[in-house]
Amino acid sequence: MIDFLNKRLSILKVNKIYLKLVKIYFNIFGEKNLGNIGFDFSNKPSRIEILNKIIKTQKYSKYLEIGTFKDELFTNIICENKIGVDPFSGGTHRMTSDTFFQINKEKFDCIFIDGLHHYSQVSKDIHNAIQILNDNGVILIHDCLPNNLIDQLVPRITLNWNGDVWKAFVECRTKSNLDCFTCNADWGIGVIFKRKNSNLLKLKEKNFKKLKYSFFFHNYKKLMNIIEFEDLLRKF
């Protein structure tokens, strides 16, 4: 394990140069940076508060977290049965989410997705999570509201990183059997209920991976169906 961590640290040092080159590339050939949208989550509840409140009020007993990393969230969640999945650290299962979903035979009341922040992986994690979600359960996805172009670029070139998680959430908003909202807190928490869509999003573009950040920048309110936490609690 120590050798593995040392290798990871070495890779990170090399990646600093790589990330600078990638940033230069995007500045020259990528989308125009339109500046910050202005999201401010400083006075909003944290994901710890949100999850514990939902679990308590809904009397959930089975919790799954995809992407535990340093256990910043997982250890603070109060739930009778908890499973955390991460290939590197934290949680209870040391494996990728793909592997976990292949071998898992349980169902869960509350699933929090915070793994690899790439559209393709998030979309896959959501699809797999829906299959093992109890009928009255809920799926939550972290980092759905990137404040600017840089924060959502893939590959990652900044410390504060949302990735293009928002694209996977927008995809869910177009499905008639999923009811989706984005809680205006903690970098945007996407919320998915397995029921009829109460506010179906209609888009001509079907290749969600190709969606541009400029499209998000100008249409995020419509795309993300943003609500405050107090209003979200009434959706259960």
132 versus 28: the higher-pLDDT residue is 132
> 93 with 11, same domain?
no
pLDDT digits (tens, 9 = 90+) for 149-171: 999 999 888 888 999 999 999 99
Q: Are residues 55 and 79 in the same domain?
A: yes
Q: Are 25 and 48 found together in one domain?
A: no
- Cβ atoms of 67 and 207 within 8 Å: the answer is no
pTM of the full structure = 0.89
Whether 148 is in a domain gets the answer yes
CA distances 142 to 20, 122, 184, Å, are: 26, 10, 11
Instruction: Name the residue type at position 194.
Output: K
Domain that holds residue 144: 44-233
pLDDT digits (tens, 9 = 90+) for 212-222: 999 999 999 99
- Note the pLDDT of residue 27: 64
Task: Identify which of 200, 212, 135, 214 has the alpha carbon closest to the alpha carbon of residue 172.
Answer: 200
Whether 37 is covered by a domain: the verdict is no
Beta-carbon count within 10 A of 142 CB:
23
212 domain residue, yes or no: yes
Q: Is residue 39 part of a domain?
A: no
Residue 68 in any domain: the answer is yes
Query: What's the rounded mean pLDDT across residues 201-229?
Result: 96
Q: Please check whether residues 85 and 200 belong to one and the same domain.
A: yes
Please name which of 213, 65, 208, 56 lies closest in space to residue 142, comparing C-alpha atoms: 65
Answer yes or no: do 110 and 188 share one domain: yes
Pairing of strands 133-141, 226-227: unpaired
Q: How would residue 44 be classed by pLDDT, with cut points 50, 70 and 90?
A: very high
Tell whether 38 is covered by a domain. Answer: no
Tell whether 78 and 126 lie within a shared domain. Answer: yes
Determine which of 30-34, 55-59, 196-200 has the lowest per-residue pLDDT on average: 30-34
- Structurally, how many domains does the chain consist of? 2
Q: What is the predicted pLDDT for the residue at 180? A: 98
Judge if 16 and 70 occupy the same domain: no
